[in-house]
Amino acid sequence: MKEIKIYERPKSWAKDVHTHYCPGCGHGITHRLICEIIDELGIQDDVIGTAPVGCAALMYDYFDIDFCEAAHGRAPALATGIKRTRPDKIVFTYQGDGDLASIGTAEIIHVANRGEKLTTIFINNAIYGMTGGQMAPTTLIGQKTTTSPFGRDPELAGYPMRMCELLATLETPGFITRVSVAKPKYIIEAKKAIKQAFVNQIEGKGYSFVEVLSNCPTNWGMTPVQAFEWTESAMIPHYPLGVYKNFE
């Protein structure tokens, strides 16, 4: 019988490491997608990642590529410095919702507005994961967190921020899209979008931003299955999937 390999660990995944992510977390899925794309594009020696502050702070341990840590929210500025001095390299940022949509709002808006030739992967799971489940700018109305114990009240905390829609208002051309990793069908679409975001950079097109609706079963107080279901039933209606801008 002929052996056919149908699944293997990506080459750009560091050897003999296991992630620290909770069962059912979307980071692992998204990390794997990025690694697969790095392999498919053959850019392992030419890609440079910037790690956020948040649950993915240790992501450099899992990728067998060059990496630099960023201060909380500052990855887009850090990546700007890397890319401007090494325009021959492929540079990406990977940020969570507290990092990108709260403390790093200035940096994310201006990196997009300058049209830096960078790729951003934005993990939106509507909560601060690493610090233990506090309210994020993307926390849904009524969602209970450790700092919105009665549910997010828009009178006190405003409404959940839609970063794709906000960035799409900028005149500078870019690629802005929202995907999810809550179901296999979404994961296939997510991979296509992330790959496009890297290809855009290789082609020197400009700034690409992929928001990934992810999940946090631990801090949502759900099982992984319930969390995937909640992403679909609660998050996607507030954060519609789709392409918001594509270099038009």
Partner 1 sequence: MARVLMKGTEAIAEAAIQAGCKYFFGYPITPQNEIPEYMSAKLPKIGGAYVQAESEVAAINMVMGGGATGTKIMTTSSSPGISLMSEGISYIAGCEIPAVIVNVMRGGPGLGGILPSQADYMQATKGGGNGDYRLLVLAPSTLQEAVELTQMAFDLAQQYRNPVMILADGFMGQMMEAVEIKEHISENLPPREPWALGCMRDRGGKRAILKSLYLNPEDLERHNIELQKKYREMEKEVRFEAYRCDGAEILLCAFGTTARIARSAINNLRNEGIKVGMLRPITLYPFPKEKIRELATGLKGVLVVEMNMGQMVEDVEAAVCGKAPVSFFGHAGGIAPSVKEIEEQIRAVL
Residues within the interface to partner 1 (CB under 8 A): 44-46, 48, 50-51, 57-58, 60-61, 63-71, 74, 76-86, 88-89, 106-107, 109-110, 114
Q: Which is nearer to partner 1, 73 or 160 (CB)?
A: 73
Q: What three-state secondary structure class fits 26? A: helix
Q: Which is nearer to partner 1, 66 or 189 (CB)?
A: 66
Taking the C-alpha atoms of residue 167 and residue 174, their distance in angstroms, rounded to an integer, is 9
At closest approach, how far in Å is the CB of 67 from partner 1?
Answer: 5
Phi, psi (degrees; rounded to nearest 5) at 12: -85, 5
Residues forming a β-bridge with 167: none
At closest approach, how far in Å is the CB of 99 from partner 1?
Answer: 13
Q: Which is nearer to partner 1, 58 or 168 (CB)?
A: 58
List, in order, residues 6 or more apart from 159 with CB less than 8 Å away.
141
At closest approach, how far in Å is the CB of 167 from partner 1?
Answer: 14
Q: How far apart are the first and last CA of the chain?
A: 51
154-174 as b/e: b if 16+ CB within 10 A: eeeeeebbbbbebbbebeeeb
At closest approach, how far in Å is the CB of 226 from partner 1?
Answer: 30
Q: Which two tokens stand for residue 141?
A: 């109305």
At closest approach, how far in Å is the CB of 109 from partner 1?
Answer: 8
Let me know: does 56 contact 99? Beta carbons within 8 Å: no
Taking the C-alpha atoms of residue 175 and residue 126, their distance in angstroms, rounded to an integer, is 22
Q: Which is nearer to partner 1, 50 or 196 (CB)?
A: 50
At closest approach, how far in Å is the CB of 124 from partner 1?
Answer: 22
Q: Which is nearer to partner 1, 72 or 192 (CB)?
A: 72
Q: Which is nearer to partner 1, 58 or 234 (CB)?
A: 58
Q: Determine the residue type at 242.
A: G
